[in-house]
């Protein structure tokens, strides 16, 4: 089971280009290791920059980790992977004038389910994220 403390190291391994952004971010006096959602937002920003630069070589490894978080993470990590990272990617892509659907081909099956749930929530077809999944979870 993947715990919160393992998430950023997994992404640093999968996406070495994130190291140059992560190091100064983690060195900030206000940095708190326990704020996984905030850190995933920072990572989402990096992924959006990669996309904007056409640098998608790390995407296969990145989205493999995203899938592992959804399938092997503890409940907090699974939720953070959806609400902290996938939702961050969707929102940041839109803010940057990019179509979030560009990420869909990179998603594994479980991540794609949660991506669709987020999309359904934001377009009003789901009352909450997870409502369209069997048992709502």
DSSP label at residue 73: B
pLDDT at 129: 92
pLDDT at 1: 97
Task: Quote the domain boundaries for residue 18.
Answer: 4-136
* pLDDT tens-digit series, residues 65-120: 999 999 999 999 999 999 999 999 999 999 999 999 999 999 999 999 999 999 99
Mean pLDDT along residues 36-64: 97
Q: Which residue has the tokens 């377009």?
A: 123
DSSP reduced 3-state for 2? strand
Q: Which residues contact 60 (CB under 8 A, 6 or more apart)?
A: 106
The torsion angles phi and psi of 121, rounded to 5 degrees, stand at -65, -50
pLDDT at 131: 87
Is the Cβ–Cβ distance between 81 and 73 less than 8 Å? yes
> How many domains would you assign to the chain?
1
Q: Which residue has the tokens 């999944």?
A: 133
* pLDDT tens-digit series, residues 2-47: 999 999 999 999 999 999 999 999 999 999 999 999 999 999 999 9
pLDDT at 133: 86
């Amino acid at each position: 089971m993947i715990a919160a403390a393992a998430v950023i190291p997994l992404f640093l391994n999968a996406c070495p280009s994130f190291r140059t952004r992560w190091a100064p971010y983690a060195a900030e006096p206000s940095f708190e290791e326990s704020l996984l959602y905030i850190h995933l937002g920072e990572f989402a920003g990096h992924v959006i920059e990669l996309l904007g630069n056409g640098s998608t070589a790390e995407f296969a490894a990145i989205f493999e980790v995203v899938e592992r978080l959804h399938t092997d993470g503890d409940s907090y990590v699974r939720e953070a992977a959806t609400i902290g990272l996938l939702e961050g990617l969707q929102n940041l892509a839109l803010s940057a004038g990019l179509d979030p659907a560009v990420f869909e081909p990179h998603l594994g099956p479980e991540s794609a389910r949660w991506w669709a749930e987020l999309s359904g929530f934001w377009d009003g077809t789901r009352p909450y994220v997870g409502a369209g999944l069997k048992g709502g979870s």
